[in-house]
Amino acid sequence: MNRSDVLISAAELLRLQASSRAPRLLDVRWTLPKPDGRDDFAAGHIPGAIYVDLDTELADHANTEATAGRHPLPSAGQFQDTVRSWGIDSDTEVVVYDANSSLGAARAWWLLRWAGLNARVLDGGLAAYEAAGGEVEIGASPEVAPSSVSISPGSLPIIDAADVSAWDGVLLDARAAERFRGETEPLDPQAGHIPGAKNAPATENVRDGAFLDEAALRQRFTALGALESPVGVYCGSGVTACHNALALATLGVQASLYPASWSGWSADPERPVETRG
């Protein structure tokens, strides 16, 4: 996997839309302060895009076990039903995007790749599309005919708390530095980070909403030791960790996701915590 397998430019998307190979577009208009982006989607989105609700379609909140974290992954059966509702088949080209530096889109990308399906993220998101001359439409998601696709779950690696405890490699924490250091914790049971983890804020993978170029990303992850050893990624609840997994995938590195992340780890009083930088 390389950068062109993972990301698509706005210019390339516009060319595909004008051809007979128009991709299925998924709009993950989600932010942590405003998880329901339905009204933002309705106010303007790429023509033909389907709105994706991260909290209900890309997570399983029926799983109330604290150690599963705040955004547990949907089961294979749940996600297969969701993919079918989007009208995606095994050979469908899928492009996911958002308006928040691809932080939500990366979760959809990861799940689709985990399911063995083809997906890319629109580099720069909605803003890049409009800057390239793309027009937006308003209104709700279009009706699409459901598919009967069968997914292949497990196509990307997942690790659990036991794996993390014994991890023989680099473990990257995608949260902001102050949360990593334990100076503040607005969401989860304890402040701090998993012992031995390195801080790699997902927001530093991008500049002005678009991913850094290959050389800059390579320099960033080389400095973290993430190009020389097995890599595990986590964050607060397993969403922005996918952004680090995506950035690493542009460099040909496959990371293992710890879905429960800090919210799951810190909910277990038996798990150790570090609070230094």
235, 174 in Cβ contact below 8 A? yes
Q: Decide the pairing of beta strands 206-207 and 210-211.
A: antiparallel
- The packing angle between helices 214-223 and 241-249, to 10°, is 120
H or E element: which one contains 27? strand 24-27
Q: Is 235 a catalytic residue?
A: yes
Using a 10 angstrom Cβ sphere, with 0-12 exposed, 13-18 middle and 19 or more buried, the burial of residue 39 is exposed
- 120 forms beta bridges with 95
Eight-state DSSP code of residue 277: -
User: Residue 232: left (phi > 0), alpha (psi -120 to 50), or beta?
Assistant: beta
Structure tokens at 230: 């097995």
Q: What is the per-residue DSSP string for 204-227?
A: GGEETTEEPPHHHHHHHHHHTTTT
Please state, in angstroms and rounded to a whole number, the distance separating the CA atoms of residues 273 and 277. 12
Contacting residues for 144 by C-beta, under 8 A, at least 6 apart:
50, 85, 86, 87
SS3 234: strand
Structure tokens at 212: 């850094």
Question: Per the residue annotation, which of 13, 54, 235, 247 is the catalytic one?
Answer: 235
Catalytic residue list: 235
